[in-house]
Structure 1
């Protein structure tokens, strides 16, 4: 009744939501509603945006997002790069963990060793083609060969604590976006003594994680809520304007919108069903979270190994209609596998403006391609399973749209496999138990390789098992090419090989419809890396 009264009162006082929303009249608390749950706070294991957002609220890496969204110093106070671009030396500031321990260079060395030792989800970020840290690829190769890593193996990694306040990192080639990488959670430090004491419980509860960032975690109820308080030991605590941060977890968009109207939250993501209701309100904002939504075909399925079948699937999708008339959240049709707005060429042009367009809608051509594919397969009809997670909006809407599009092709039957995000990824995809997986990828850093490397033969996320020696060879050249213009063209060439073979079928670049408290300033939203930074928020 109290909640209903708040909503009615808000509507009576204004015709828009301006002034509604917010954590009551409490300017010291910021409340954020998330559709997803926090998986864990272990930087060696966390791999989803919600976990990254929570993790960054409590931990700073060498670098971090600045108030304007660029990259600035975090635990590092300065850095130097050798003339050949292969040695990065970071000087650390006087920072402390929330238990009073100083943050040292060894905290980074230990954390980076640990992600390989634990075979963490993001150890590939250290390897050739991305960070290019010396010794990382060799460690990765041993993990892929199911060999146990020794201390000598780990010590071969190109990271060294010169002293407590000096960290030296060696790479095998010049990496232009190295500082940006250092703001990504897999490169965060870990307090060795604390982590070893926690063992397997590290990062799995509010009590099993230490903070060195703007906030400390005080409460975490998975699937419900996470609460944080301002960290008085944070090196920039005087600049943190809110005393409490609340993350409401696994909130349905409709519930989040009601919570916003009732003044119980400052930020809510809404779905396409609610856009028309709120799109004229001052609090309504479309943002880009940088995700590419796409279809991953399992090429170990003999039907999907046929290129004409994959062409038919891509041609059957009216991407513009899906974005403009169904999603209605600012999403736009994908024209390739590298999204727009991700990276700029040495000549100042967006990758998508220089690369070709690989998608189009043509139902007649789709049927012709399927007919040819069926002829090559010697079949009159095929059945494909379409797997999607119901707990990762708007996957259900997306999957239903695809079902309708594909079902319009004669000779193709679609079976819908509804599950959860966790089951989709960690069971069905990893075990090859899928035909078509409706999935997405968000950029970890602002370079085309954050998408292109997904198609490498040995990439852990290449669940469809596409393999192309020419593509692998070009990506190897991308990794070692020092001429920026030549490297850029190689990446354009690499994407063309992927898209000509449709190893992935890109569909749309995700926009996000949100309700945001108009009294809130300086929430940092990035399409690359950590989605949200709360350190600078003020009300």
Structure 2
């Protein structure tokens, strides 16, 4: 849950087509092959479209993809791409841009390469590539070319999976599956995605200025295929703003969206601009399995049982965070019968000092 102050646009007396957004976080990088933080992903969404995207109601619709044909066995996705989709340098967006980007995430060992593998996108050959990376092996071109993604021609992309993936089109709207212009990225080298001049987009906005830790500015991409439906002329993200500063800027009319913390709730809870909304982040402890103690299942179980998540959320974080009873939190997915996954599956862990001690002793 995130606590926000939200207005309707037109900060600081500007035209209503300018929207200014305050962020507590900074942008780390804009390379979709290894960006893994929420602020960076939001910025990438502003400047790059993938095969699919979400509409204003949250439904998945086509973006770069004009159409999709699914084989009878559900294992082969054939996407026909729009020919009017251009990179901002004028290059057409082609099927080769997707092949390059998807192979690049394995080359760079990006954080989300596991999403291509079994259990998620389940793309042919991706699990084998993932296993080699996990084993510390270097990937060859032959290894990468064995993955089930192929440019049949400039505007036809074929993707083969090992099982039927009912949520495949939803995955295609996530940045790690976005295309990258190979010629541009290779020319930039290690600088790709590190500043406003070294990122090339095809989306609704073009990044015009990025001052790390301060501000990033976007302008409407007039060559965007669907630009007639882009209502904003300018998008501004104020970076690394303390909640109190963000709230003051909101009150002064300088911003249209400001995340706040629990210290400010009493002051703003009766304001019509005050909102509590779910945000798509899950925080968890990632343990070092190379440590001999933490490699012990019962020791890890003891640590999990010893964490009082309710107390942590209510008395430490105090920001509207909800207790996570498992890796998939409540409110994320429902069964065909409409039952929340977490309720249907039960809590994976809870706070229990007695059981924690028993697990530690056994470990």
Instruction: Using structure 1 for the length normalisation, give the TM-score.
Output: 0.62
Q: 1:162 to 1:262 in 2, by over 3 A?
A: same
Q: 1:214 to 1:200 in 2, by over 3 A?
A: same
Q: 1:98 to 1:370 in 2, by over 3 A?
A: closer
User: Does residue 296 of structure 2 align to residue 302 of structure 1?
Assistant: no
The aligned counterpart of 2:11 is 23
The aligned counterpart of 2:135 is 145
Q: Matches of residues 147-296 of structure 1 in structure 2 within 5 Å? A: 147-296=137-286
Q: 1:135 to 1:277 in 2, by over 3 A?
A: same
Contact 1:275 1:329 in 2 (8 A): no
Contact 1:309 1:369 in 2 (8 A): no
CA distance in 1, matches of 2:145, 2:47: 28
Q: Matches of residues 406-417 of structure 1 in structure 2 within 5 Å? A: none
The aligned counterpart of 1:8 is none
Which structure exhibits the higher relative contact order, with contacts defined as CA atoms closer than 8 Å and separated by 6 or more residues?
2
Q: CA deviation at 1:162?
A: 1.3
Q: CA deviation at 1:135?
A: 1.4
CA distance in 2, matches of 1:281, 1:23: 18
Q: CA deviation at 1:293?
A: 3.2
Contact 1:29 1:245 in 2 (8 A): yes
Deviations 1:82-126 (A, max 9, x none): 110010011111211101111111111111121122222211111
Contact 2:330 2:342 in 1 (8 A): yes
The aligned counterpart of 1:345 is 335
Specify the SS of the correspondent of 1:294: coil
Contact 2:6 2:256 in 1 (8 A): no
The match for 2:71 among 62, 66, 82 is 82
Contact 1:290 1:339 in 2 (8 A): no
Q: 1:306 to 1:352 in 2, by over 3 A?
A: closer
The aligned counterpart of 2:51 is 62
The aligned counterpart of 1:417 is none
Question: Bigger radius of gyration, 1 or 2?
Answer: 1
Q: CA deviation at 1:72?
A: 1.0
Deviations 1:261-303 (A, max 9, x none): 1111111111111111111110010011133333445563638
CA distance in 1, matches of 2:94, 2:307: 55
CA distance in 2, matches of 1:88, 1:36: 36
Contact 2:9 2:19 in 1 (8 A): no
The match for 1:314 among 284, 305, 317 is 305
CA distance in 2, matches of 1:310, 1:283: 42
CA distance in 2, matches of 1:112, 1:306: 34
The aligned counterpart of 1:73 is 62
Q: CA deviation at 1:375?
A: 5.9
CA distance in 1, matches of 2:300, 2:161: 42
Q: CA deviation at 1:318?
A: 6.1
CA distance in 2, matches of 1:349, 1:373: 32
Q: 1:335 to 1:116 in 2, by over 3 A?
A: closer
Deviations 1:370-427 (A, max 9, x none): 66567668xxxxxxxxxxxxxxxxxxxxxxxxxxxxxxxxxxxxxxxxxxxxxxxxxx
Unpaired segments of 5 or more residues in structure 1? 1-16, 378-539
The aligned counterpart of 1:6 is none
Q: 1:325 to 1:101 in 2, by over 3 A?
A: same
CA distance in 1, matches of 2:362, 2:316: 35
CA distance in 2, matches of 1:245, 1:102: 25
The aligned counterpart of 2:33 is 44
Contact 2:7 2:256 in 1 (8 A): no
Deviations 1:446-503 (A, max 9, x none): xxxxxxxxxxxxxxxxxxxxxxxxxxxxxxxxxxxxxxxxxxxxxxxxxxxxxxxxxx
The match for 1:111 among 98, 101, 112 is 101
Specify the SS of the correspondent of 1:289: coil
Q: CA deviation at 1:19?
A: 7.3
CA distance in 1, matches of 2:7, 2:195: 35
Contact 1:275 1:328 in 2 (8 A): no
Q: CA deviation at 1:156?
A: 1.3
CA distance in 2, matches of 1:212, 1:262: 34
Deviations 1:495-517 (A, max 9, x none): xxxxxxxxxxxxxxxxxxxxxxx
Q: CA deviation at 1:129?
A: 1.4
CA distance in 1, matches of 2:6, 2:279: 23
Q: 1:142 to 1:207 in 2, by over 3 A?
A: same
Contact 2:268 2:274 in 1 (8 A): yes
Q: CA deviation at 1:308?
A: 7.2
Aligned length: 356
Specify the SS of the correspondent of 1:275: helix
Let me know the Cα RMSD of the aligned residues: 2.5
